[in-house]
């Protein structure tokens, strides 16, 4: 059914999702079915997600603050006169505050062709672990829920198109440390953003961040890359990883494990033996009580980079105080209503006191 000019972006997005038949190119009655994939970008608040996405799509436009959850799409032709593959691209703004919205892009229809990109702001190492932990937990929980919904739908398509268990993502038998890691249920790319600011950090602290993210990426069977929108060379390599998830293209052969340089580590290239033990400077690892390897790395990391105070996070979680949502008329009305509410509370308090005296 042709789309009219009155269709909104959201309507088009819903229609695209509902019409998806597969996550890869197939032959259907002699006709090539267009490949459609879904990429969900999450991560640090103001961490550069939009800027990275625009650069990966080669769009020359100024990035704007992401309001809640935003959708766009990318297209790429496989060859001359060939149909264009489609990538459905979702971006979650607000950091961890709006993590409940993961249920929109992570749904039973998208689960088979879904991949996740986690963008972590390297210039704010104290918020890095908590952001990573909360965002991945929210995404993983929703992936498993979407899988269950697809299985319970009872439709042939749900059984055939999503006939895999996301908690048991298939890895090659020779994948490094296959029995010791817990793969993320769908393909995962971790991007360390703002490397231009990160490289000015103390070398020892840089090693802690780099080594920790190497462990996290390997534990989840994810790819890891550090980047900066100010470097075309780094963005070119980042674009290769993005295109691999969005369009199934080759992600390139570049690899870098040197903490003094931007890390470029495709999934399956690292190992626990190469990463080594947690960088515990002046810390007795044996004295730390950890439930598992991930918990041990977390404890060591947070000794070097204590998590931000809860009051700071609470302030960020109040959207009415966020300058990017300023609306003069709405703010003025809110202020008036706040004053009316306070007056109502005072009057109500007086009324209750009067009743008590009469009684």
SS3 84: strand
- Asked if residue 183 and residue 210 are part of one domain, the reply reads yes
- The pLDDT, as a whole number, for residue 276 is 93
- Residue 87, token pair as written in the block: 């990538």
**Is residue 162, in this structure, part of any structural domain at all?**
yes
Instruction: Provide the pLDDT for residue 86.
Output: 93
Q: How confident is the model at residue 330 (pLDDT cuts 50, 70, 90)?
A: confident
Is residue 163 in a domain? yes
pLDDT at 235: 97
pLDDT of the residue at 230:
96
Give the model's pLDDT for residue 227: 98
Identify any residues that bridge with 70 across adjacent strands, giving them in sequence order.
91
Residues 90 and 163 in one domain: yes
Quick check: 25 pLDDT over 50?
no
268-313 pLDDT, tens digit per residue, is 999 999 999 988 766 666 667 778 899 999 999 999 999 875 444 4
Domain identity same for 102 and 54: yes
- pLDDT, residue 234, reads 97
pLDDT at 24: 45
| 100 part of a folded domain | yes
Are 305 and 347 within one domain?
Answer: no
Q: What is the pLDDT of residue 321?
A: 61
Number of domains in the chain: 2
Angle at 264 between CA 258 and CA 265, to 5 degrees: 100
Digit-coded pLDDT (tens) for 1-12: 444 444 556 655
Q: Are residues 38 and 125 in the same domain?
A: yes
**Residue 358 in tokens:** 């009469």
Quick check: 19 pLDDT over 70?
no
In this predicted structure, what is the pLDDT of residue 115?
96
Q: What is the mean pLDDT of residues 112-139?
A: 96
Q: What is the mean pLDDT of the chain?
A: 82
The mean per-residue pLDDT over the stretch 144-169 comes to 65
**Is the residue at 319 inside a domain?**
no
Which segments of 149-303 are extended strands (E)?
188-193, 223-226, 264-265
Note whether 286 and 339 are same-domain residues. no
Same domain, 339 and 280: no
Sign of CA dihedral 173, 174, 178, 184: negative
CA 90 to chain centre: 10
Are 96 and 131 in contact by the 8 Å Cβ rule? The answer is yes
Task: Tell me, yes or no, whether 271 lies in a domain.
Answer: yes
Same domain? For 261 and 117 the reply is yes
CATH number at residue 147: 3.40.50.300
Q: What's the CA dihedral at 138, 140, 145, 147 to 10 degrees?
A: 150
Quick one: 269 and 214 in the same domain? yes
pTM of the prediction? Answer: 0.76
- Decide if 320 is inside a domain: no
Please tell me whether residues 18 and 102 are part of one structural domain. yes
pLDDT at residue 31 greater than cutoff 50: no
Q: In this structure, what DSSP letter does residue 113 have? A: G
Domain that holds residue 104: 9-311
Assess if residue 1 is contained within a domain. Answer: no
pLDDT in tens, 92-120: 987 777 788 999 999 999 988 999 999 99
Same domain, 214 and 339: no
Report the share of the chain in percent with pLDDT over 90: 54
Separation in Å, CA 303 to CA 60, 136, 205, 310, 329: 41, 22, 11, 17, 46
* Residue 149 and residue 287 in one domain: yes
- 52 or 30: whose pLDDT is higher? 52
pLDDT tens digits for range 193-214:
999 999 999 999 999 999 999 9
In a domain, 264, yes or no: yes
């Amino acid at each position: 059914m042709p789309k009219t000019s009155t269709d909104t972006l959201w309507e088009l997005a819903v229609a695209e999702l509902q019409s998806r038949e597969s996550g890869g190119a197939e032959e259907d009655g002699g006709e090539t079915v267009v490949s459609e994939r879904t990429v969900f970008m999450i991560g640090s608040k103001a961490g550069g997600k939009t800027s990275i996405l625009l650069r990966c799509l080669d769009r020359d436009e100024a990035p704007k603050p992401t309001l809640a959850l935003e959708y766009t799409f990318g297209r790429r032709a496989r060859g001359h006169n060939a149909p264009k593959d489609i990538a459905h691209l979702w971006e979650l703004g607000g950091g961890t505050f709006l993590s409940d919205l993961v249920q929109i892009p992570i749904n039973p229809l998208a689960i088979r062709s879904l991949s996740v990109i986690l963008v972590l702001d390297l210039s704010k190492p104290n918020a890095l672990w908590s952001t990573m932990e909360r965002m991945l937990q929210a995404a993983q929980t929703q992936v498993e829920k979407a899988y269950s919904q697809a299985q319970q739908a009872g439709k042939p398509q749900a059984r055939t198109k999503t006939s895999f268990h996301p908690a048991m993502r298939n890895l090659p038998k020779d994948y490094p440390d296959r029995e010791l890691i817990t793969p993320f249920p769908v393909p995962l790319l971790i991007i360390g953003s703002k490397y231009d600011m990160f490289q000015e950090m103390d070398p020892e602290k840089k090693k802690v961040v780099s080594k920790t993210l190497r462990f996290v990426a390997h534990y989840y069977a994810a790819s890891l890359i550090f980047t900066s929108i100010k470097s075309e060379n780094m963005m070119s390599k980042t674009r290769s990883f993005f295109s691999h998830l969005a369009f199934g293209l080759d992600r390139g052969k570049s690899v870098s494990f040197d903490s003094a340089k931007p890390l470029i580590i495709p999934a399956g290239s690292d190992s626990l033996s190469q990463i080594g033990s947690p960088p515990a400077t002046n810390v007795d690892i044996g004295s730390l009580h950890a439930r598992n390897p991930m918990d041990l790395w977390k404890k060591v990391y947070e000794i070097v980079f204590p998590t931000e105070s809860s009051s700071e996070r609470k302030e960020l979680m109040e959207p009415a105080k966020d300058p990017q949502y300023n609306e003069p008329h709405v703010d003025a009305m809110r202020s008036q209503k706040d004053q009316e509410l306070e007056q109502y509370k005072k009057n109500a308090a007086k009324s209750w006191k009067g009743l008590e005296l009469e009684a």
